[in-house]
Each structure stands twice: as structure tokens, then as C-alpha cells.
Amino acid sequence: MAEVVVFHHALGLTPGVRVFADGLSRAGHRVHVPDLYEGRLFGTLEEGTAHAREIGVGTVIERGAAAAEGAASAPVCVGISLGVLPAQKYAQTAPGVRGAVLLEACVPPSEFGPGWPGGVPVQVHGMDADPFFAGEGDLDAARALAEESPDAESFLYPGDRHLFTDSGLASYDPEAAKQVTERVLAFLTRIDDAPRPPTG
């Protein structure tokens, strides 16, 4: 059993995010899904992103770090779009993190430190024509990460949808989301079978 923390996207902790997390939980993992928006939900990316800017993206990241610290001593961090920011920063900077999954976003590791930490496996998933993932530099960052780190792997899916893993949204792509879930579950199994890193 892996300890997993799932960080939601810019629309908030939607039912679709909970469904995704429940899929990991049903596979036997202990999954935590913190609400970084304190109950707020939004209908569009523009509204959700505006809220994140209003409270401060730094606040979102700090809330994510506090949630991860309170949930588990050696978690796997899973971020969806905006949630990649707290997931990626925590995975890069906190001791003992066992892995990370970055869904539909990726920032250069230099944003949070000198580079991706050795021995911390990471997956990146996104659509090849998503205007946010492919058009705003995230795909380039994912490719650079895969080249830089032997512990990184990147998966591309055909399509132009953003938030395609959220089953409650019009952007949901069932086939691609199923592939993501299968790959994430296989990833968690490999991590669960691996020795735990030191936490101190």
C-alpha cells in the first residue's frame, strides 16, 4: 500500500477529482485528497485560476505542503494541472517522498531547486495538443525532465483536452483517463515494492 496525496486542479476539489482518487483507493492505496480551496468550486478555468491568483499561488503551494506533511511521512504526490505546483515542489524538496505523478502540467525542476532529486520516480501525463500543456511550455518541461532524470517517464495522449482525467467535466476523455489510471496504478505498485527512502 502506498500513501498517496492527490492535489486538485484549478476548479477545486470536484467530484471528478474524488472519483480519480477513489480509483487509486480501491486498488488498495491510502489516498488523501486535501481541499486547497477550502470548499470553493469553480465552473471555468478562468474563474478557478483567478481565485488561485487572488489567494496567491504561493498559498496554494503552502496549503499543499501542509496537507502532505499531515497525511503521510513518505507520500507519493499526485497533482492535476494547478495541483502539479504543490505536488512537484513537495516531491522535489521534502525528504522521504517516494514519487510523483504530474497530470496535465509540468514546470522546469529549476523552479523549485537545482533539479529533480535522484531516486524519486516521476511520471508526467498530458495531451499532445492541449493548448495549456503543449502550448505553454509544460510539454517541453516534461521532455526535458525525462532527458535529465533516469527516474522520469513521460506519456502523451492524442487530443486537445485539458482536465481530461476529471470524469465530471465536459473535457473528460474516458479512454485516455483509463490509460492514465492504469499507468499510475502500475507506478504505485512499483513504488510500493521498492525500499523506502530515508525520511531524515
Q: pLDDT category, 37, cuts 50, 70, 90?
A: very high
> What sections of the chain are H helices per DSSP?
15-26, 45-55, 57-71, 84-93, 138-148, 174-193
Range 186-197 average pLDDT: 79
- pLDDT of the residue at 136: 92
- pLDDT of the residue at 48: 96
**In this predicted model, what pLDDT tens digit does every residue of 65-97 receive, in sequence order?**
999 888 767 899 999 999 999 999 999 999 889
Please provide the average confidence, as pLDDT, over all residues in the chain. 93
Domain count for the chain: 1
Residue 196 within any structural domain of the chain: no
Residue 20 and residue 174: Cα distance in Å, rounded?
A: 12
- pLDDT of the residue at 199: 46
Share of the chain above pLDDT 70, in %: 96
Residue 200 within any structural domain of the chain: no
**In this predicted model, what pLDDT tens digit does every residue of 92-138 receive, in sequence order?**
999 889 999 999 999 999 999 888 999 999 999 999 999 999 999 99
All three cell numbers of 161, joined, read: 483536452
Residue 197 within any structural domain of the chain: no
**In this predicted model, what pLDDT tens digit does every residue of 41-62 receive, in sequence order?**
999 999 999 999 999 999 999 9
- pLDDT of the residue at 74: 80
Residue 33 within any structural domain of the chain: yes
Does residue 11 or residue 147 have the better pLDDT?
11
Residue 115 within any structural domain of the chain: yes
Residue 94 within any structural domain of the chain: yes
All three cell numbers of 77, joined, read: 504526490
End-to-end CA distance of the chain: 21
Residue 88 contacts residue 149 (beta carbons within 8 Å): no
Domain that holds residue 135: 3-191
Residue 79 and residue 76: Cα distance in Å, rounded?
A: 10
- Look up the CATH number of the domain holding residue 28: 3.40.50.1820
Range 151-172 average pLDDT: 97
Say yes or no to pLDDT of 200 above 60. Answer: no
- pLDDT of the residue at 58: 94
- pLDDT of the residue at 1: 83
Say yes or no to pLDDT of 195 above 90. Answer: no
Residue 92 within any structural domain of the chain: yes
Residue 198 within any structural domain of the chain: no
Residue 87 contacts residue 93 (beta carbons within 8 Å): no
